[in-house]
Chain A
C-alpha cells in the first residue's frame, strides 16, 4: 500500500494566520482526500483533490478557507486560512491507490492548535 508523509506533524499558530499542510505519497494515486478530526470527534471529509482539476468540497467547507493544490499524482497541499481557535483539529491526508479499489491509506495527521 502507499506510504504517506504528512508535514508538519503538529503546529501551534496565531489566530488570523494561515498554515499549509503538505501530503507526499510514495506512489502515483488517483484520488487524494483531506479530512478534519476535531477534538473528540470523528473524521469529516473536507474535500477531494484530483490532479489537474479543482478540488471538490464537501458541504460546510469552502475554497477560500481551505484552498487545496494538487500539482501532480504524488503531492497535495491543504491550507487553513485566517485561522481561529475553532480550526484547532487534526488534519489528515488520505489516498486511494490506482491499483487498489478502496485501498485507502491515511497519513499520520497534522495536529493544529490555534491560539
Chain B
C-alpha cells in the first residue's frame, strides 16, 4: 500500500525567504504525486502534480516541486515566500485501484510566515 511522510509538522519562515517542504512517499510503481494547500476554513487547492516526464514541476503561486525517484521524494519549493502563503500543505500520492484512482495524503506541514 502507498504511504506519504511529511517529516515537518510546523515550519516558520520569514517573508521573502526561500521555502522547502519535504515529502517522502512509498509506492511500488511509478507514483502520481500531488501537493495541495489548505487555508484556514477552506477546502484543498491543487498546487501542482507529477505524472511523468520532466522531474521538475511548476505549479501555481510560484511553487515548484522536484521528483527524485532515487530518494522517493517530492519536495515543494518556493524561492520567496509571501505572507499569504501561510497555510497547511499536504503531499499526496495517487494509485490505481480496482475502484479507480485513490489519493493517500501525508499528515501535512503547517507553514507560518513571519513578517
Contacts and interface: CB of A to CB of B under 8 A. Distances in A.
B49 A102 contact: yes
Interface residues of chain A: helix, strand, loop or mixed (majority): strand
Interface residues of A, number: 25
Nearest to A4: B43
Interface in B2-43: 32, 34, 36, 41-43
Interface string B55-80: 00000000000000000000000000
B51 A42 contact: no
Contact of A109 (B43, B94, B101, B107): B43
Interface string A48-69: 1010000010000000000000
Nearest to B44: A106
B101 A31 contact: yes
Given A31-B101, A96-B101, A102-B49, A108 B90 contact: no
10 contacts: A4-B43, A31-B100, A42-B90, A42-B106, A43-B90, A48-B100, A48-B102, A92-B43, A102-B32, A108-B41
